Amino acid sequence: MITSEKVRKMVRTLEEMLPYAADEDSLNMHEPAVCSDHVECGTAHCVGGWYLLAKKWDGNTRHDPSLEDEDWDSGADLMARDLGIDSRYDLESWAYENDIVWGNTRGLDMFREHFAYTPGGKEYAKSLREVCDHWLEVADRLDERTPWYRRWLVWK
């Protein structure tokens, strides 16, 4: 089950990549490959690719051989599991079926299109920061929909 706490933890993980994804050109939702070389140079990745790097890249090496056979879908599946969902397909379905919580009707495209992320009512996310902001809004909406007594049990 997706909870606001899991979402916020996932966002903190993704935010570790913000120093490497500072400009708008670093978010490319149509980039399927994950670059294992020279990540710090401003390479573009999609959301799944950035999440994979956040989870696996050691941040020190300029070439990480463990990422050579990985792709965006590995990061998407890692994100889903960290949120308590079995697969990226189930996560996309959750966002589509819970469009009020997701914030729009485009949740099925969360790993394919910029317009799946609409932080602060924007037309679409242009940067990884804006993707993180969208997810934080999802966490806030999850809090709003969670009864106070369930939140209290989670806090304890």
**N-to-C CA span, the chain:** 18
Q: Give the residue from 129, 142, 34 showing the smallest Cα distance to 95.
A: 142
By CB atoms closer than 10 A (0-12, 13-18, 19+), residue 117 is: buried
Q: What is the pLDDT of residue 116?
A: 93
- Adjacent-strand bridge partners of 37: 63
Name the pTM for this structure.
0.84
- Adjacent-strand bridge partners of 27: 45
Q: What is the pLDDT of residue 14?
A: 94
Q: What is the pLDDT of residue 61?
A: 55
Q: What is the pLDDT of residue 156?
A: 40
pLDDT values of the chain reduced to their tens digit, one per residue, 156 residues: 899 999 999 999 999 989 888 777 778 887 777 765 545 444 567 898 889 888 887 666 555 666 667 788 889 999 999 999 999 999 999 999 999 999 999 999 999 998 999 988 888 888 999 999 999 999 999 998 866 545 444 444
Distance CA 111, CA 49 (A): 9
Q: What is the pLDDT of residue 89?
A: 96
Q: Which bin fits 108, alpha (ψ -120 to 50), beta or left (φ > 0)?
A: alpha
Chain Cα centroid distance, residue 94: 14
Buried b (16+ CB within 10 A) or exposed e, 94-105: bbbebeebbbbe
By CB atoms closer than 10 A (0-12, 13-18, 19+), residue 57 is: buried
